Amino acid sequence: SQNASQILWSLTHAMREDARRRFVFGFTIENTRMRLWFASRQAIGRVAGFFLRILYAERHALGFDETIVRLPPGEGESDVPYEIEVGGKWYRTQRLISAIGAESIRGRGTRVWEVKELDGPGGVEIGPCMVLKDGWPDYDRDREEVIHEKILDAAEKSGQVETLKKHMLTVHAACDVLVEGNVDDTLAVICRGEAPPYGETLEVKKDLEAKKTVHEDHPLQGAMPRPSDEIGKHFAYHRKVHHRIIFEEVGTTIMESGTVSFAFGILQEVVEALRALHSCGWVHRDISVGNILIVDDVAKLADLEYAKAETDRRTHDLRTGTAFFMAVEVEAGTYLHGRASHGILRTILEEDTVGTEEAGPLDKKAAAKRRRSDQDDNAEDNAQSDSFPVHVLGPRPAVRVVRQRPFRHNPLHDLEFVLWLGLYVLFCSIFKRFADPYTADEQWIDYMKRRKAVAAKLFNSQIFRYQVVSTSTVFSEQLPGLHPQLQKICLVLEAFCELLVSRYAEVE
């Protein structure tokens, strides 16, 4: 109903805009019925009988975080400053770095600030600037500082400790947030051990008119789910705990590199860092624009909260990664490049066309013909198999059982993340034009228009992304009309992609 949509939007707005909110209440009135709504980072529910609870509740019972103090913004400042407690010490925010994780009412709710330590609550700022990350990781996952320690322990054994220390951030402090002496937990503390039951799924948009697409002059602001078929699907949002971690380094993103050559130099360091990480038996799983930082001209792997040992078999419903940079196999949740997976990839490519245009009758007819041809080939193979002696084939089973291999994120997926990140740098950065007597103004405008069109395909079309990492030449066919220098770089990336796909085929 409209009331449900409006109250869900309001709950999301309250959780997004106020960093003190651990959970939030709201209410709706329909005729003579009044309903109380509750939302946390794990669940949304409806409860009743609430007047006494609201009237006599303490602030923490109403969802406020007593370890965060909201301050009035200074003159001309848009960011709301906060004082935040971490491990018994207080820090004052200097600027908001990111709050994209708080856009969704459920999930990690991650916010990142640049902060300075205080000599006490409400005290004087001391020491250098650092970075504070506040979020709600899954209860059963290792905290980020623990992951840092495990990676460095593995690096000691594999001889990669110096490389990884060079390319990892330094943890200054970390802690789980306490409420009345207990770790702030969406199930045990907030819901008193009993989570609300899941009901219907309803999409709520921040701006009902806005469409989140990629434009060359509108860079990525954060992660977002793209496939529309996920609307209505039930995901299990796991039990969360409130956690904070502080890093000593304050860096810039790769999109602030200044030049394409410097950005690709940083990507080269990222590949070196990933090689060291992989040699320790770990995968990063979330390489993106915001997770590659530059500190003193050195690449740093940030946001290791999703990093995982390859031997770790724990799974969660939600896919890991940022949509624009996610490896296509990770996005599909299945292997696509091995011999047994070619049929899956062919089906994906035939069911849709590049972009948003619907396949015409000739395309559909050709696809149907290819399917019939594949069936005929299979029938011929079966006939040939039947001609073999029985003692060669062995007894034929009554029922053929196909066991699906569990999908695992592997080191090649991390490298594909880097490929998409490189393409994003090329096609979604803001290019500055220098004096060039050989390029007319009209020609430059045409170059930029073509660049924007290719960017839309690369980062808005799921099918086009599948085609790029297939063995076809679909990507190189998009290059005519781009700036000649851009074409040269793209050809190198295409060669990297072909090498990556060949390795996929070998290992899968």
Selected residue with higher pLDDT from 323 and 410: 410
pLDDT at residue 228 is higher than 80: no
Quick one: DSSP state of residue 196?
Answer: P
Q: pTM of this prediction?
A: 0.76
> pLDDT tens digits, residue range 160-192?
999 999 999 999 999 999 999 999 998 888 888
| pLDDT, average across residues 55-76 | 86
The pLDDT-based confidence of 370 (bands split at 50, 70, 90) is: very low
Considering only 111-115, 126-130, 242-246, 322-326, which range has the smallest mean pLDDT? 322-326
d(CA 398, CA 349): 33
**19/93 Cα distance (integer angstroms):** 12
- If one compares 231 and 349, the residue with the highest pLDDT of the two is 349
Of the two residues 55 and 446, the one the predictor is more confident about is 446
Q: How far apart are CA 22 and CA 70, in angstroms?
A: 14
Model confidence at 360: pLDDT above 50 = no
Average pLDDT of the chain is: 81
The 10s digit of each residue's pLDDT in 274-313 is 999 999 999 999 999 999 999 999 999 999 999 999 988 8
**Average pLDDT rounded to a whole number, residues 36-62:** 71
Q: Based on C-alpha coordinates, what's the Rg of the chain? A: 26
Task: Report phi then psi at 152, rounded to 5.
Answer: -65, -35
Instruction: Give the span between the Cα atoms of 478 and 354, in whole angstroms.
Output: 12
**Spatial CB neighbours of 146, under 8 Å, sequence gap ≥ 6:** none
Residue 91: the pLDDT is: 98
More confident site: 311 or 378: 311
Residues 185-197 as b or e (16 or more Cβ within 10 Å = b): bbbebbbeeebbe
The closest alpha carbon to 195, from 136, 240, 243, belongs to 240
Report the top-level CATH class of 251-378+406-508. Answer: mainly alpha
Q: Lowest-confidence range among 54-68, 360-374, 451-465?
A: 360-374
Residue-level length of the chain: 508
User: Residue 57: beta bridge partners?
Assistant: none
Give the model's pLDDT for residue 60. Answer: 86
% of residues, the chain, pLDDT over 70: 74
Residue-range domain boundaries for the chain: 1-158+168-198+234-250, 251-378+406-508
What pLDDT does residue 166 have?
98
What pLDDT is recorded for position 400?
46
Q: Is the pLDDT of residue 272 over 50?
A: yes
Rank 8-12, 117-121, 192-196, 392-396 by mean pLDDT and report only the highest. Answer: 117-121
Mean pLDDT of 14-18: 88
Neighbouring C-beta atoms of residue 386, cutoff 10 Å: 9
Q: In this structure, what token pair is assigned to residue 172?
A: 């200054």
What pLDDT was estimated at residue 233? 53
Question: Which tens digits make up the pLDDT trace of 456-475?
Answer: 999 999 889 999 998 678 99
Q: How confident is the model at residue 230, as a pLDDT?
A: 46
One-letter identity of residue 403: R
- Amino acid identity of 54? I
Across residues 467-486, what is the average pLDDT?
90
